[in-house]
Amino acid sequence: MELFDHLLYGLQNLAGVTPVLVVIAGVVVGILGGAMPGISPSMAVALLLPFTFGMSASMGIVMLCAIYLAANYGGSITAVMINTPGTPSAVVTAFDGYPLTRKGQAGTGLGVSLIASVVGGFVGIVILILFSGPLARLALKFWPAEYFALAVLGLSTIASLGGGRWLESFVAVLLGLLLNTIGLDPLSGVSRFTFDIVRLYDGFSFIPVLIGLFALSEVFSCIESGEVNAPSVVPDKDKSPWPSVRDYLKLKYAMLRAGIIGTVIGIFPGAGGTIASFIAYDVEKRVSNDPDSFGKGTPFGVAAAEASNSASVGGALVPLLTLGIPGSSSAAVLLGALMIHELQPGPELFTKHPEIVYTLFSSLFVANIFILILGLLGARLWIRTALIPKRALYPMILAFSFIGSFAVRSSMFDVGVCLAFGVIGWILTRYDVPVSPVVLGMILGTMIEQNLRTTIMMGGPGLFFSRPLSLALLTLAFASVLVPYLRGRKSPSSRKGAGGAA
């Protein structure tokens, strides 16, 4: 009851024109930032950080959290419409969102991604409010062995991501892991495979790789197939472009499942929304009655990906607010913002400044509602992207790819990397090698290597099997790979199939 009183008090703090405008501004900036490849949620939060200096602490934090939440949704817009994930966590959204657009169902893709984001966001916030204490304690029990096992579990999703192409998926994920070793070794600082190119000391920047593998490769594939001269996919006029309430209700369990997975994975520092969306998508595919439809444009895939990455925001705020440990790069920027406003995250924040904590909690609910409203208004505009002739759209995608790649580190080298990975992605896709496992390998590579080696240093490889949580996660990962492998061996025809996400 006390909790509801606090939340009501928080809501009262938001009653007024200024707080509502602050939330709306945060949501608008977040959606636009997320939709723009190259502007990550953390970058959007960091860009607006100086504007909060003149605000009260609570309003400043409210605005930054609204940006963080909205940017996770914004990333899905370009993923669905032009196969260019605006944020790394939107990669999985593109697996089914873009095929929906190609089928003339962009409205379904956008509608489901919006509602799933909002539902996932609510799930994350509710769990944050109710269970932040116990969840934070659980996160503290994670040693490097468990982080390694969690990352391996994330990698195991390739077994279903690649559809029947399990061998190609393994090759692709190992290619991603190998490419991820380029740069300075995360533990010893030894320079590896940099060929004396200073820009490679940090390894490949993730966004240019992402844009290249997804957006540029798609453009090149369409140019090759002559699809560029095909008429634009016009939504069926006899059918509503938007999903009905009944359609959304069919997805309710998928959204809830993904929301819970997203929140739980979001609380582990370093894991974040990207791993959450891969795992939630994998789980949804495994429980589905029609797993073959995944990767070909099923709303369930979009719902799982979006609900989990939005829910991970609530998860990332758990260790941030309760322990002062940021769960993601955006949460790290928020930690800086809290400190700039002379607030020390941790248990004391709840006792010394409950008004700020509960205003923040309430504002997340309000921000979610504005994401829904502004998302619905904006979606009517985004959907028109599908009507742009492809020969006009593709040069613009390439120009945007330049900006997105350049923006990350203000580096022309990254623009070249984007083109190189575009060509690699085009070749791989042409020969049925899925590119999403390459991305997954590159995302998880550092986490796996760092925790593998730290665990070996701490107590040898035996530690992976002597810690119950690590053993359980590794067993789950092993089973996740083994089951589709054995199924594939039983039906050789499926190995030749082209199903699965790109």
Partner 1 sequence: MDIIGFLGKGKGALVLFGACAAVLVVLSFLLRSTKFAPRRGRILIVAALLELCGVFFFLTFGLEDIEAVGSSAKTAPRLWASLLAFFSLDQLRRVLSGDAKPDPESGDLSRVFRAIAIVALAIWGMAYVGFYVATCGMILLLLLLLGERRPLMLLSLPGGWLFFSYFVFARVLMMGLPTGALFG
Angle at 91 between CA 89 and CA 97, to 5 degrees: 120
* Cβ distance to partner 1 smaller for residue 138 or 184: 184
In 264-341, beta strands by DSSP E? none
Contacts of range 58-61, beta carbons closer than 8 Å, 24 or more positions apart: 58/13, 58/355, 58/356, 58/359, 58/360, 59/18, 59/19, 59/22, 60/337, 60/341, 61/334, 61/337, 61/338, 61/341, 61/343, 61/356, 61/360
Closest distance to partner 1 from the beta carbon of 280 (Å): 26
* Cβ distance to partner 1 smaller for residue 197 or 472: 197
In degrees and rounded to multiples of 5, residue 358 shows phi and psi of -80, -25
Closest distance to partner 1 from the beta carbon of 23 (Å): 21
Q: How far apart are CA 170 and CA 42, in angstroms?
A: 31
* Cβ distance to partner 1 smaller for residue 149 or 407: 407
Exposed/middle/buried for 395, CB within 10 Å: 0-12, 13-18, 19+?
exposed
Q: Which residue has the tokens 């916030």?
A: 125
* Cβ distance to partner 1 smaller for residue 219 or 311: 219
* Cβ distance to partner 1 smaller for residue 196 or 342: 196
Closest distance to partner 1 from the beta carbon of 175 (Å): 6
Q: How far apart are CA 391 and CA 101, in angstroms?
A: 17
Angle at 318 between CA 14 and CA 25, to 5 degrees: 35
Closest distance to partner 1 from the beta carbon of 487 (Å): 17
Closest distance to partner 1 from the beta carbon of 180 (Å): 8
Q: How far apart are CA 261 and CA 309, in angstroms?
A: 9
Closest distance to partner 1 from the beta carbon of 188 (Å): 4
Closest distance to partner 1 from the beta carbon of 415 (Å): 5
Closest distance to partner 1 from the beta carbon of 91 (Å): 21
Whether the CB-CB separation of 185 and 178 falls below 8 Å is answered with: no
* Cβ distance to partner 1 smaller for residue 247 or 432: 432
* Cβ distance to partner 1 smaller for residue 293 or 411: 411
Distances (CA, A) of 257 to 279, 439, 452: 11, 24, 29
Q: List interacting residues with partner 1 (CB under 8 A).
A: 47, 167-168, 170-171, 174-175, 177-178, 181, 185, 187-188, 190-193, 195-196, 216, 219-220, 223-226, 228-229, 390-392, 394-396, 398-399, 402-403, 406-407, 410, 412, 415-416, 419, 422-423, 426-428, 430-433, 445, 448-449, 452-453, 456-457, 460, 492, 495-496
* Cβ distance to partner 1 smaller for residue 172 or 366: 172
Q: Which residue has the tokens 């991820």?
A: 180
Exposed/middle/buried for 448, CB within 10 Å: 0-12, 13-18, 19+?
buried
Select from 121, 132, 15, 117 the least CA-distant residue to 74.
Answer: 117
